[in-house]
Amino acid sequence: MSTRIKVLHVIPNFGAGGAERLVLDLMEEMDHEKFEVAAVSLYPETGTVFEDEIRKKGLRVFYLDKHKGLDLTMIPKLGKVFKHYKPDVVHTHLYVLRYTVLPSLLCRVPVCVHTVHTLAQNEVGWAGRFINKMCFRFGNVVPVSISREVATSVRRVYGAKIRTPVIYNGVKTTLFSSNSGVEQCKERGETVIVHVGRFEPPKNHRLLLEAFSVASSKCSKLKLWLVGDGKLRSSVKEMVQNLGLRDRVLFLGTRSDIPKLMACSDIFVLSSKWEGLPLVVIEAMAAGKPVVATAVGGVPELVENGLTGLLVPSDNANALAEALLLLAEDPELRQVMGQKGQKKAIDRFDISRTAREYEALYCKLLEERKSVI
């Protein structure tokens, strides 16, 4: 019987985010007859929703004890994990390449893959970009881009000759497409707009609230649900208070029932300054919701303007308000756009397709490695 290919994902932690969600879904979705999959979290457990999911599903994760900031002890500690697990593929995410490159070389890991989850210029600081550049050019680390726009940014930042295959992120579309019961979690007559994202600068809650203030002044039935947490939550709450929107904006915190919240809403909104390929947009599409989003990063590769949603500039609150009003006042348009978006999500952005493409990439790179040896 042939030995399974051992894949080890390395990620900073399992807080709520798209990269973390992708790692968990890939750990489940990979073909377990051919692949053995585990993960390393640099930081220890902190009781997050994703960590609860890991325990319940029995997924194998090695938790280290990283402290905040640069922590060079991660290099030998990762080396011990690599020696113990003996991965054929080390698959890194976010900023962790600075810690994995040396133990990968010392442990002679055959294949190293790094997923670039956002535009390359925004992924890491200058020191991280220097390390990434060396890894991509000379360290046999293959960067995978999650959208065509991200691939363009990788070549722009790291060199035009960098090989960066595009593998779109995916979600478990059945979790979202099978939900129902819209009227159970909102008041009769309300039109609910939902935003899911960290309270961090890239998500641009200020633009969203400015737009919602304009839209809600013209449409009294509008409500806004804000899902997530982060360092800017208190300042966003203060802005809600100052705009006189306290009765119209609901802060829901970090949630584990996103499919239900999507089902209960009418419109999904994304107001980001930049993105790679936001999983939450795919989730909204899979739930059959029209999307109003800023046309940044890989978002236009998901949302077809006028067909599955509406795209607006990333710095224009009035344009965002007009798009929200258009959908709020036209239930039939919402339904048509939602149905088209749902079909696209199921056909093109299911996690099973993402997993098969990563499996094929791992196998291809391992064969290339064997031919060199």
pLDDT tens per residue across span 341-368? 999 999 999 999 999 999 999 999 999 9
Domain match, 291 and 315 both: yes
Q: Count H helices, E strands: the chain?
A: 16, 12
Domain match, 293 and 282 both: yes
- Supply 246's token pair: 């306290």
The mean pLDDT of 239-267, rounded to a whole number, is 94
Residue 88, number of CB atoms within 10 A of its CB: 20
For residue 83, report the phi and psi dihedrals to the nearest 5 degrees: -65, -35
- Residues belonging to the chain: 373
d(CA 144, CA 117): 9
Domain match, 164 and 253 both: no
- Helix, strand, coil percentages (3-state) for the chain, rounded to 5, are 50, 20, 35
Q: pLDDT tens across 28-82, in order?
A: 999 999 999 999 999 999 999 999 999 999 999 999 999 999 999 999 999 999 9
Q: pLDDT tens across 187-238, in order?
A: 778 999 999 999 999 999 999 999 999 999 999 999 999 999 999 999 999 9
Domain match, 211 and 277 both: yes
- What are the start-end ranges of the E strands in the chain? 5-11, 35-41, 61-63, 89-93, 111-116, 141-145, 191-196, 222-227, 249-253, 267-270, 291-294, 309-312
pLDDT at 12 over 70: yes
Domain match, 139 and 181 both: no
Beta bridge mates, 141? 112
pLDDT computed for residue 372 by the predictor: 67
- Supply 211's token pair: 């737009």
Q: Global pTM?
A: 0.90
Q: Which residues contact 343 (CB under 8 A, 6 or more apart)?
A: none
Instruction: State whether residue 82 is helix, strand or coil.
Output: helix
Instruction: State whether residue 268 is helix, strand or coil.
Output: strand
> pLDDT category, 179, cuts 50, 70, 90?
low
Q: pLDDT tens across 93-131, in order?
A: 999 999 999 999 999 999 999 999 999 999 999 999 999
Domain match, 141 and 57 both: yes
Domain match, 341 and 200 both: yes
Q: What is the mean pLDDT of the chain?
A: 94
Domain match, 129 and 195 both: no
Task: Count the alpha carbons within 13 Å of 243 in the hemisphere toward its beta carbon.
Answer: 23
Higher pLDDT, 18 or 7: 7
pLDDT computed for residue 332 by the predictor: 97
Please, what is the Cα angle at 303 between 300 and 308, to 5 degrees? 150
Domain match, 277 and 336 both: yes
Please, what is the Cα angle at 305 between 299 and 308, to 5 degrees? 85
> pLDDT category, 16, cuts 50, 70, 90?
confident
In total, how many domains does the chain have? 2
161 conformational bin, left if phi > 0, alpha if psi -120 to 50, beta if neither: alpha
Domain membership of residue 145 as a residue range: 5-170+350-372
Domain match, 320 and 194 both: yes
Domain match, 178 and 164 both: no
Q: Which of 58-67, 136-145, 201-210, 321-330 has the weakest average pLDDT?
A: 136-145
> pLDDT category, 186, cuts 50, 70, 90?
low
Position 139: which residue type? G
Domain match, 199 and 127 both: no
d(CA 4, CA 139): 25
CATH of the domain at 297: 3.40.50.2000
